[in-house]
Amino acid sequence: MNIYPSLEGKTYVVMGVINQRSIAWGIARALDAAGASLAFTYVGERFKAPLEKLGQELSRPASYYTCDVTSDEEIEQVFQTIHADHGQISGIAHSIAFADKEALRGEFSSVTREQFTQALDISAFSLTAVVKAAKDFFTEDASVITLTYLGGEKMVPNYNVMGVAKAALDASVRYLAAEYGKQGVRVNAISAGPVRTVSAKGVGDFNSILESIEERAPLHRNVTTEQIGQSGLFLLSQMSSGVTGEILHVDSGFHIL
Ligand code: KAL
């Protein structure tokens, strides 16, 4: 029995690639290696050309769509267009988060109402908006993943309002899994260990965060976007057909400590 998933002829939507270090890019590469056709969404015109250039590394031509997840209209429009171009959608990788950088340092309670609302809108509500917009376009066995972080389960210094957003995202995964399970669609999250992505830029002591993983995590090493991509492929393919509502920690085991 060949249990390696072939995704040939299937379309997956990947949201949140900004450069070659993006976790979403690790997921895209794993999907591509398994034969999938990819539709990428990006947030602004300035991100389009670099993404298209990156996409040339893939085995087959991908398509590219602009989508600002703060707009319900844009989300609805993009899924209608992707459906028109590609037919039914076998899965979505949602790898999108944002918080005002002023809210990502200092005391948690210094967060303003606007910063709080924006972080939760982009980083948590967007998953529900995306799943809703794709509802009629999913295959019968479609799978959705999002990216979360330990800071939504435990207090992690400086993660602040993003921790609250990830807690809301994790809960959204469970409620969406329950609801969309009725149509066979699975919804899961990967809780990735720290990776030096654009999101991690400007984080003062990021090196010491990476070092403490090497010192303390069961596997004594940091995770790579390739490892996260492989776990993403598992969750997005039929290899995980019995799994939904799950938060899979791809973090060298750090979360057990
Ligand atoms: C405890 C950790 C240390 C870092 C603290 C906060 C990290 C928050 C992640 C959040 C998504 C980052 C931002 O929103 C950055 C934003 O304010 C400025 N950047 C941008 O505007 C760029 C241009 C855009 C493209 O970036 C985004 N994201 O929109 C957490 C570490 C150990 C793990 C991380 C980095 C977790 C995570 O959630 O990414």
Nearest CA to ligand 1 atom 15: 199
Of the candidates 80, 77, 67, 73, which has an alpha carbon nearest to the alpha carbon of residue 14? 67
Q: What is the pLDDT of residues 138-173, one digit of tens each?
A: 999 999 999 999 999 999 999 999 999 999 999 999
Q: Which residue has the higher pLDDT, 210 or 4?
A: 210
Sketch out the chain's domains with CATH numbers. 11-256 (3.40.50.720)
Please say if the pLDDT value at position 3 is more than 80: no
Question: Which of the listed residues 118, 199, 225 should we mutate to test ligand 1's pocket, taking the one with most ligand atoms within 8 A of CB?
Answer: 199
CA 71 vs CA 130, 176, 257: distances in Å: 10, 20, 39
At residue 119, the pLDDT reads: 98
At residue 205, the pLDDT reads: 86
Write the ipTM.
0.97
Per-chain mean pLDDT for the chain:
97
Of the candidates 48, 51, 39, 44, which has an alpha carbon nearest to the alpha carbon of residue 98? 44
Q: What is the pLDDT of residues 175-214, one digit of tens each?
A: 999 999 999 999 999 999 999 999 998 777 899 999 999 9
Ligand 1 pocket, Cβ-based, cut-off 6 angstroms: 18, 97-101, 104, 149, 151, 156, 158-159, 162, 194, 198-200, 203, 209
Please say if the pLDDT value at position 16 is more than 60: yes
53 within 8 A of 79, measured Cβ to Cβ: no
Please say if the pLDDT value at position 1 is more than 80: no
